[in-house]
C-alpha cells in the first residue's frame, strides 16, 4: 500500500514533530495493537544445530523434511539443503518462509557443537499454560513447547530478542531439560515500525499505525555497541509504557560498521546523530541495497565537521526535514546542540521522506545505515526513532491486523503483507526461480493377455510402491504408491530418470508381467524403466508395469435381481451384509436380521434407500455363491466389472476415485463401504447405479 502523495508530508511531519517531543512514543505504545501479524515473515534466519536423524529432500511440488536434534523441519518445494550427513552432529543456517518451512540455506553446514540448539530473532512467543502447548518462533522456525512447563530463561524471551533455545525434544515438542539463553552474535538494533492503513467507519481515511514487530538492523561488526535509548544513554526520558528504541555506536578508527535490515523496504525514516570526542571527518550514510549488498540507491550522507553533521549528499527524490519543520538540502549543518548522555551531543531529529512516485524506490531493497570512522578516539551514534515501511494488503489483513490510528485515534486496519521476498542476513542473492516442472506417470495393472499393453478391461493394482530414481539409480525424493485404479504420478524437474516398481506380493498376483516405456521414451527392463529423458513442461505418461493376476480368469457369479430375493425372503442365504443406517461400521448376520434385510430390499428414493436396495441385493448374491471364503467369489472380487457384463461411462466419486468397467469389483465394494461409513449421499446414488447394472445378470 502506497501513501497518497498529498498525505505524505503531513504524515512525516506529524511523526517527526511528535517523536521529537516526549509524548508520542508513549502514545504509540498506547495505541498499538498487541496482535502479532499473521503474515509477517521473520527478519532473519535461524541457526540450527544437532544430530541429523532423518532427511527427505523436496522434489518437484512435494515438500521434504529434515530432523535435527529431535525436531522435524519441513523443506518447502523447490528448496535445496546441501551437505546433509544423517547420523552426524551438524549446524545449518536456514531461512524460513511465512509458513514456517525452510525456504533456503545460507552457506554450507558446519560441525555441530554437541549442544542441540536453535538461534535467531524471536518473532512470537506464547508460554505454555496448563493443558495448552506453548510456542516460540525463532528466526522463522516454529517450535511447540510442552504443556504446563516453564523453561529457564523464558522471562527474557520476547519478540525482537536475539535468542537461543537448547532443545530436548520428544515427538517434535520441546520438553523438560530445554532452556533459553541469549544469542551473542550478530548484534541487532530494534526500530519501531509504522505503516499506512485505513480507519474504519465513515468517512474512511488514511492513517498511520504502529506495527507490533520492530525493524531489525543487523550489524556486521561485533565491535559496535548497541544501547537502549534512555536518559543516560541518549539524554532522553522514556515513559514506562513506551516501545523500546535502540541505537548503535561505533568508535573503531579507520573502519566502517553497517547495519542492514533484510525485512522491509521503507518510505520514511527519522533519526538522530550524536558525536562524542574527536570525530572530524567521520561519515554516516543512509542507503538502499540490492539483495547482493550492492548499493541500489544512496539516500543521504552526513560528514561530521565543525561540531555538526553536514548533509553532503541527498537523493533527488528524497526530502529531509530538520526537527520536523523546515525542508533542508545539501550543505545543511545539523548542529550537535542537545545533550545525549553517554553518546555526547546530538542533533535535532532528522526526517527523510522518500517520494512515493519515484521509480528509483519501486523495487525491493534492504535499508542500510553506515558509520565510517576516519580516526581519533571519538565515537558516533545513530538512533532511528522510527521507520515507515512499505507494505501491501495480503489475504485477510483487515480481519487480523487492527489497531488505533496515530493521527486520528480511530480504530482501523493496516496491511501486513510484505512487498519484498524474504531473504536472510546478510541479504544474499535470492535463488533463481524454479525450473518449469514436468509430469511422469503410469499404471500397475493386471495384464490379462500378457502382451505388455494396458487395454480396456484390464484392472489397475492399488498400493504398489513405485520409486523415482535419477540417471545413476539413486532415489529422488520419496516414493509413491498407486491409487485405487493402479495409477501413480511424479512431478519432476527436467532431467534423465528411472522408475522402479517394488514387485507386489498380493495373493491375487500369479507372476511378474511385461513392463512398457511410455510417451517420452526409455528402456523397459524387469520391474524398471530407465533412460527416461524429460524436458520442461513435458507430460510423460503410460510408464506401465504389467502383472499376471488371478483376475485374468475374468470370473463372475450368478447375480440375482432384487425381486428374486424379495420373492425368496424366507430362504435367504447365510452370511453377513452391510446396511446403511443399520450397521454402518460392522456387517450383521443375514438370518439374525431378516426384517432389516427385507426392509433394505424394498428400496426408495433417498440416497440411503437406493444404496441399500442395490448393495444388499449384490451382497446376497455373493453370499449365495459361498461368500468371501469361496474361491470363485475371491476371483470375482479381483476381476474387472466388465467380466460381469456391465458397461458404463467412468464415474468419479467425491474422494477422487474413478470407477469404470475396467475397475475391480473389489474397488466398487470398498468405495461402497466407505460411502456408507462416511454418509456420502451423492456417492451413494452413483454407486447404487453401478450395482444396479451388476444385479440381475442371471435373472430371477
**Among 28-37, 89-98, 481-490, the least confident range:** 28-37
Counting Cβ atoms within 10 Å, is residue 220 exposed (0-12), middle (13-18) or buried (19+)? middle
For the cut 60, the answer to whether the pLDDT of residue 233 exceeds it is yes
Do 261 and 366 belong to one domain?
A: yes
Nearest to 174 by CA among 148, 197, 156, 200: 148
Of 130, 161, 183, which residue sits at a domain end? Answer: 183
Contacts of 267 (CB under 8 A, 6+ apart): 2, 3, 8, 196, 353, 354, 356, 361, 388, 389, 390
For the cut 80, the answer to whether the pLDDT of residue 173 exceeds it is yes
Predicted pLDDT at 140? 83
Under a CB-based contact definition with an 8 Å cutoff, are residues 261 and 216 in contact?
yes
Residue 345, Cβ neighbours under 10 Å: how many?
A: 17
What is the number of alpha carbons within 13 Å of residue 114 lying toward its C-beta?
0
Under a CB-based contact definition with an 8 Å cutoff, are residues 414 and 38 in contact?
no
Predicted pLDDT at 455? 80
Residue 72, Cβ neighbours under 10 Å: how many?
A: 14
The better pLDDT of the pair 69, 362 is held by 69
Predicted pLDDT at 435? 57
Assess if residue 612 is contained within a domain. Answer: yes
Do 31 and 89 belong to one domain?
A: no
Do 331 and 387 belong to one domain?
A: yes
For the cut 90, the answer to whether the pLDDT of residue 239 exceeds it is no
Assess if residue 314 is contained within a domain. Answer: yes
Do 55 and 110 belong to one domain?
A: yes
Predicted pLDDT at 124? 82
Under a CB-based contact definition with an 8 Å cutoff, are residues 271 and 242 in contact?
no
**Three-state DSSP state, 685:** helix
> pLDDT category, 584, cuts 50, 70, 90?
low
Please report, to the nearest 10 degrees, the dihedral formed by the alpha carbons of residues 626, 627, 629, 634 taken in order.
100
Assess if residue 371 is contained within a domain. Answer: yes
Sign of CA dihedral 312, 278, 223, 248: negative
* Cα gap 248→259, rounded to integer Å: 9
Predicted pLDDT at 262? 59
CA Rg value for the chain: 35
Assess if residue 270 is contained within a domain. Answer: yes
* Cα gap 389→299, rounded to integer Å: 15
- Which of the residue ranges 430-444, 637-651, 672-686 has the most confident prediction, judged by mean pLDDT? 672-686
- Which of the residue ranges 310-324, 570-584, 623-637 has the most confident prediction, judged by mean pLDDT? 310-324
Assess if residue 387 is contained within a domain. Answer: yes
Main-chain dihedrals φ then ψ at residue 75, nearest 5 degrees: -100, 120
For the cut 90, the answer to whether the pLDDT of residue 638 exceeds it is no
CATH assignment of the domain containing 526? 2.60.40.10
Average pLDDT of the segment spanning 391-408: 78
Do 320 and 216 belong to one domain?
A: yes
> pLDDT category, 339, cuts 50, 70, 90?
very high
The better pLDDT of the pair 4, 370 is held by 370
Do 368 and 348 belong to one domain?
A: yes
Do 254 and 356 belong to one domain?
A: yes
Per residue in 503-517, pLDDT (tens digit) is 988 766 777 889 999
Average pLDDT, the chain: 83
**Three-state DSSP state, 215:** strand
Q: Which range of residues forms the domain containing residue 631? A: 562-694
Predicted pLDDT at 37? 27
For the cut 80, the answer to whether the pLDDT of residue 472 exceeds it is yes
For the cut 50, the answer to whether the pLDDT of residue 421 exceeds it is no
Per residue in 344-360, pLDDT (tens digit) is 999 999 999 998 888 88
Do 201 and 343 belong to one domain?
A: yes
In this structure, are strands 523-524 and 528-534 parallel, antiparallel, or unpaired?
Answer: antiparallel
Do 90 and 236 belong to one domain?
A: no
Assess if residue 122 is contained within a domain. Answer: yes
- DSSP at 349: P
Predicted pLDDT at 598? 92
Assess if residue 111 is contained within a domain. Answer: yes
Nearest to 668 by CA among 619, 605, 601, 603: 619
> pLDDT category, 292, cuts 50, 70, 90?
low
Kind and range of the H or E run holding 665: helix 665-677
For the cut 70, the answer to whether the pLDDT of residue 264 exceeds it is no
- DSSP at 211: -
Predicted pLDDT at 700? 63
**Three-state DSSP state, 88:** coil
How far lies 211's CA from each of 191, 272, 431, 668, in Å?
Answer: 11, 21, 29, 56
Of 132, 152, 183, which residue sits at a domain end? Answer: 183
Residue 566, Cβ neighbours under 10 Å: how many?
A: 13
Grid coordinates given for 68: 535435527
Predicted pLDDT at 457? 66
In which residue are the cell numbers 578508527 written?
253
pTM: 0.45
Predicted pLDDT at 507? 65
Assess if residue 86 is contained within a domain. Answer: yes
Q: What is the secondary structure of 412-457 as a DSSP string?
A: EE---EESSPP--TTTPPPPPPPPPPEEEEEEEEE-TT-SS---TT
Do 283 and 145 belong to one domain?
A: no
**Among 73-77, 258-262, 385-389, the least confident range:** 258-262
Do 206 and 333 belong to one domain?
A: yes
> pLDDT category, 422, cuts 50, 70, 90?
very low
Per residue in 72-90, pLDDT (tens digit) is 999 999 888 999 999 999 9
Under a CB-based contact definition with an 8 Å cutoff, are residues 450 and 654 in contact?
no
For the cut 90, the answer to whether the pLDDT of residue 654 exceeds it is yes
For the cut 70, the answer to whether the pLDDT of residue 237 exceeds it is yes
> pLDDT category, 396, cuts 50, 70, 90?
low
Residue 108, Cβ neighbours under 10 Å: how many?
A: 10
For the cut 60, the answer to whether the pLDDT of residue 4 exceeds it is no
**Three-state DSSP state, 260:** strand
For the cut 90, the answer to whether the pLDDT of residue 204 exceeds it is no
Question: What percent of the chain is predicted at pLDDT more than 70?
Answer: 87
How far lies 552's CA from each of 233, 362, 482, in Å?
Answer: 87, 67, 20
Counting Cβ atoms within 10 Å, is residue 688 exposed (0-12), middle (13-18) or buried (19+)? buried
Per residue in 120-164, pLDDT (tens digit) is 888 788 888 877 889 998 888 899 999 988 899 898 888 777 789
In which residue are the cell numbers 444404496 written?
611
Do 221 and 366 belong to one domain?
A: yes
Q: Into how many domains does the chain fold?
A: 4
The better pLDDT of the pair 540, 211 is held by 540
For the cut 80, the answer to whether the pLDDT of residue 607 exceeds it is yes
For the cut 70, the answer to whether the pLDDT of residue 683 exceeds it is yes
Of 366, 395, 424, which residue sits at a domain end? Answer: 395
Per residue in 535-558, pLDDT (tens digit) is 888 899 999 999 887 655 678 999
Amino acid at each position: 500500500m502506497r501513501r497518497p502523495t498529498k498525505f505524505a508530508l503531513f504524515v512525516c511531519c506529524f511523526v517527526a514533530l511528535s517523536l521529537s517531543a516526549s509524548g508520542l512514543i508513549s502514545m504509540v505504545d498506547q495505541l498499538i495493537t498487541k496482535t502479532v501479524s499473521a503474515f509477517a515473515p521473520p527478519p532473519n534466519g535461524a541457526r540450527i544445530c544437532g544430530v541429523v536423524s532423518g532427511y527427505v529432500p523436496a522434489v518437484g511440488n512435494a515438500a521434504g523434511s529434515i530432523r535435527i536434534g529431535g525436531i522435524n523441519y519441513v523443506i518447502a518445494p523447490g528448496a535445496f539443503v546441501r551437505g546433509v550427513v544423517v547420523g552426524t552432529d551438524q549446524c545449518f543456517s536456514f531461512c524460513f518462509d511465512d509458513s514456517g518451512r525452510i525456504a533456503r540455506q545460507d552457506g554450507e553446514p558446519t560441525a555441530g557443537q554437541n549442544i542441540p540448539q536453535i538461534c535467531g530473532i524471536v518473532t512470537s512467543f506464547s508460554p505454555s499454560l496448563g493443558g495448552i502447548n506453548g510456542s516460540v518462533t525463532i528466526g522463522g522456525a516454529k517450535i511447540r513447547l510442552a504443556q504446563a512447563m516453564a523453561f529457564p530463561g523464558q522471562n527474557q524471551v520476547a519478540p525482537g530478542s536475539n535468542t537461543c533455545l537448547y532443545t530436548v525434544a520428544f515427538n517434535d515438542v520441546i520438553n523438560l531439560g530445554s532452556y533459553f539463553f541469549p544469542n551473542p552474535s550478530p548484534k541487532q538494533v530494534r526500530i519501531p515500525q509504522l505503516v499506512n492503513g485505513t480507519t474504519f467507519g465513515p468517512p474512511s481515511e488514511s492513517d498511520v499505525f504502529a506495527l507490533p514487530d520492530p525493524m531489525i538492523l543487523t550489524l556486521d561488526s561485533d565491535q559496535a555497541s548497541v544501547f537502549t535509548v534512555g536518559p543516560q544513554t541518549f539524554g532522553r526520558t522514556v515513559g514506562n509504557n513506551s516501545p523500546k528504541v535502540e541505537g548503535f555506536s561505533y568508535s573503531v578508527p579507520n573502519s566502517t560498521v553497517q547495519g542492514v535490515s533484510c525485512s522491509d523496504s521503507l518510505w520514511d525514516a527519522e533519526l538522530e546523530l550524536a558525536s562524542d570526542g574527536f570525530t572530524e571527518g567521520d561519515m554516516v550514510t543512509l542507503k538502499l541495497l540490492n539483495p547482493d549488498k550492492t548499493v541500489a540507491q544512496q539516500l543521504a550522507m552526513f560528514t561530521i565537521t565543525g561540531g555538526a553533521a553536514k548533509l553532503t549528499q541527498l537523493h533527488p527524490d528524497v526530502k529531509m526535514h530538520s526537527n520536523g519543520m523546515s525542508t533542508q538540502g545539501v550543505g545543511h549543518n545539523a548542529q550537535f546542540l542537545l545533550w545525549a548522555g553517554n553518546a555526547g551531543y546530538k542533533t535535532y531529529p532528522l526526517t527523510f521522506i522518500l517520494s512515493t512516485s519515484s521509480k528509483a524506490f519501486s523495487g525491493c531493497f534492504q535499508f542500510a545505515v553506515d558509520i565510517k570512522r576516519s580516526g581519533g578516539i571519538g565515537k558516533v551514534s545513530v538512533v532511528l526513532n522510527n521507520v515507515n515501511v512499505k507494505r501491501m494488503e495480503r489475504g485477510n489483513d483487515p480481519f487480523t491486523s487492527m489497531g488505533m490510528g496515530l493521527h486520528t485515534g480511530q480504530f482501523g486496519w493496516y496491511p501486513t503483507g510484505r512487498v519484498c521476498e524474504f531473504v536472510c542476513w546478510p541479504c544474499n542473492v535470492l535463488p533463481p526461480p524454479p525450473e518449469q516442472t514436468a509430469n511422469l506417470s503410469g499404471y500397475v495393472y493386471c495384464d490379462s493377455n500378457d502382451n505388455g499393453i494396458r487395454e480396456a478391461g484390464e484392472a489397475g493394482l492399488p498400493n504398489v510402491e513405485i520409486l523415482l530414481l535419477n540417471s545413476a539409480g539413486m532415489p529422488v525424493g520419496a516414493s509413491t504408491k498407486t491409487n485405487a485404479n493402479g495409477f501413480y504420478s511424479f512431478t519432476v524437474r527436467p532431467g534423465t530418470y528411472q522408475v522402479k516398481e517394488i514387485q507386489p506380493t498380493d495373493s491375487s498376483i500369479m507372476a511378474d508381467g511385461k513392463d512398457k516405456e511410455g510417451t517420452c521414451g526409455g528402456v523397459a527392463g524387469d520391474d524398471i524403466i530407465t533412460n527416461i529423458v524429460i524436458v520442461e513442461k513435458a507430460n510423460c505418461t503410460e510408464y506401465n508395469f504389467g502383472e499376471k493376476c488371478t483376475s485374468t480368469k475374468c470370473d463372475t457369479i450368478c447375480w440375482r435381481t432384487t425381486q428374486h430375493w424379495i420373492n425368496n425372503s424366507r430362504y435367504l442365504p447365510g452370511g453377513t451384509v452391510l446396511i446403511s443406517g443399520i450397521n454402518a461400521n460392522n456387517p450383521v448376520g443375514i438370518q439374525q436380521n431378516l426384517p432389516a434385510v427385507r426392509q433394505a430390499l424394498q428400496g426408495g428414493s433417498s440416497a440411503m434407500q437406493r444404496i441399500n436396495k442395490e448393495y444388499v441385493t449384490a451382497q446376497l448374491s455373493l453370499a449365495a455363491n459361498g461368500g468371501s471364503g469361496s474361491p470363485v467369489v475371491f476371483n470375482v472380487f479381483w476381476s474387472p466389472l466388465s467380466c460381469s457384463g456391465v458397461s458404463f461411462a467412468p464415474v468419479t466419486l467425491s474422494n477422487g476415485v474413478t470407477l469404470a468397467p475396467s475397475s475391480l469389483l473389489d474397488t466398487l465394494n470398498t468405495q461402497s463401504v466407505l460411502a456408507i461409513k462416511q454418509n456420502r449421499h451423492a456417492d451413494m446414488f452413483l454407486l447404487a447405479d453401478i450395482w444396479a447394472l451388476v444385479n440381475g445378470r442371471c435373472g430371477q
